Amino acid sequence: MRREKTAVLLFREDPREDLRPEEVTELRGLAEAAGYTVLAEVFQRRGRDRRFQLGRGKVVEAASLGPDKLIFNEPLSPGQIFNIGKEFEIPPMDRFNLILEIFASRASTREAKLQVELARLSYEAPFVRTIESLKKLSERPGYRGSGSYDVSMYRDIKGRMAKIRAELRAVEETGVRRRERRRKLGFDLVALAGYTNAGKSTLFNRLAEEAVAAKDQPFTTLSPTTRAVAARDRRFLLTDTVGFIDDLPLFLIKAFRSTLAEIVEADLVLLVVDLSDPPEVLRERVASCHGALWDCGCYAPLVSVLNKVDLITPEEAEERCRLLEDLAPTPVLVSAREGLGLEALLDAILEKLPPLEEFLVRLPASEAGMGQLSRLYEVAEPLEVRYGEEVEVLLRGRREIVAKALRGAERPEADQDMDDRSGAATAPEARPPKPGDPPPDGE
């Protein structure tokens, strides 16, 4: 029978700033998500201790409970990790290492496993020299010690990181080709983003009519999942992505660059927010998400989706909307679990996506022309087709996608004249206005 893992959580409160209750709740949630049973929470209000982060007495108190891990809310230096492990014979861990442990346990694809390994090595590389130097302090050869032991291990880590980055670059290139192919097929790309455990996967299941894992715990989703969604006269691809967390380290963003590319390259991002969070937590988490999107280079249009509206009263929802006026000026209130507000969300998505146009395409009445017509059917919605000496097709779609489809088909054979080639098509032209259409801009 497998023995349960246990941990004690340790918090150092800065004398100049109170510890926020949500920090305690979040660390406990992360520990439980990693499979630890939390035995106790130890607090101390003081400045940073150089050797143990907290005072020695508090670490003794935590260690006396016999946990498998001592989990610190504050980042630990290499020296502190070495000192705590040596003094108390219990491995210490800080918040970032706990997140990496969760990622490692949830990674199911080759890509996710490589990203987790790269994040861990990026985090650990600076520690190696310090810890190995402390261990080999009396053994280093040469005049006053040259540090040959830790340099060798450090080089090994750097070499492994270079290999992982090369593999992930290949994954990124595959992703670029995949997104280009999807756009050529007439799909808009919409990505879900937001703080971890905000309900992204539940919303994804509602919109895409899917059944991906959606649990009340952080970081349920590591590898992106994409499904097609049909909304009235549009179709788009919706992607569920990894959640953000407060103070997300830059090395973690860089390691997950191929996953976050699904957000960066999207035509529209749905920023999902847990509206049931306490007001002071809510604003900080939304700001944290905006910061993470900025760090990963996302400049796509945003729709703020305020989720879990079923868990609060209308008055509380109104108050929270006012609180977020500058960060989420035109939010959509939904309950992914109950299916509330989804029609309004689809309206907001369609309004923000690049507009569809109606235009006329003329094709030759030939076998090649029919082939082009078939390709156009794949990337745009045909409204009317008229057959004669030429085939005239009235389409609704995105102009650049249809133009690409036509350019891809206009390749003259070596023995044909450019002007005479079979299968030539005119560029798409705007359809003539119909009675009742709004006047063009400026009229």
Give the list of residues 6+ apart from residue 402 with CB closer than 8 angstroms, or none.
Answer: 359, 361, 376, 379, 380, 395, 428
Taking residue 291's Cβ as centre, other Cβ atoms within 10 Å add up to: 14
CB 276 within 8 A of CB 311: yes
Binding site listing for GTP:
194-201, 219-223, 240-243, 307-310, 335-337
Q: How many residues in total does the chain contain?
A: 443
Contact yes or no for 352/303 (Cβ under 8 A) = yes
Q: Determine the Cα–Cα distance for residues 302 and 370; give it in Å rounded to an integer.
A: 39
Residues in the annotated binding site for Mg(2+): 201, 221
Annotated binding site: 194-201, 219-223, 240-243, 307-310, 335-337
**Measuring CA to CA, how many Å separate 283 from each of 28, 195, 289?**
21, 11, 10
Report whether 340 contacts 310 (CB < 8 A).
yes
Beta strand 332-333 pairing with 225-231: unpaired
8 Å CB contact between 251 and 287: no
Instruction: Give the pair of three-digit tokens for residue 257.
Output: 């660059």
Dihedral over Cα of 391, 396, 399, 404: its sign: negative
Assign residue 294 a region: left if phi > 0, alpha if psi is -120 to 50, beta otherwise? alpha
Bridge partner residues of 13 (DSSP): 45
Tokens of 290: 């905006």
**Residue in 208, 201, 247 with CA at minimum distance from that of residue 224:** 201
Report the Cα 182 to chain-centroid distance in Å: 19
In this structure, the number of other CB atoms found within 10 A of the CB of residue 28 comes to 16
Phi and psi for 245 in degrees, rounded to 5? -150, 160
Strands 332-333 and 357-364 come out as: unpaired
What three-state secondary structure class fits 80?
Answer: helix
Helices (H), 92-249: 95-106, 110-135, 148-184, 200-208
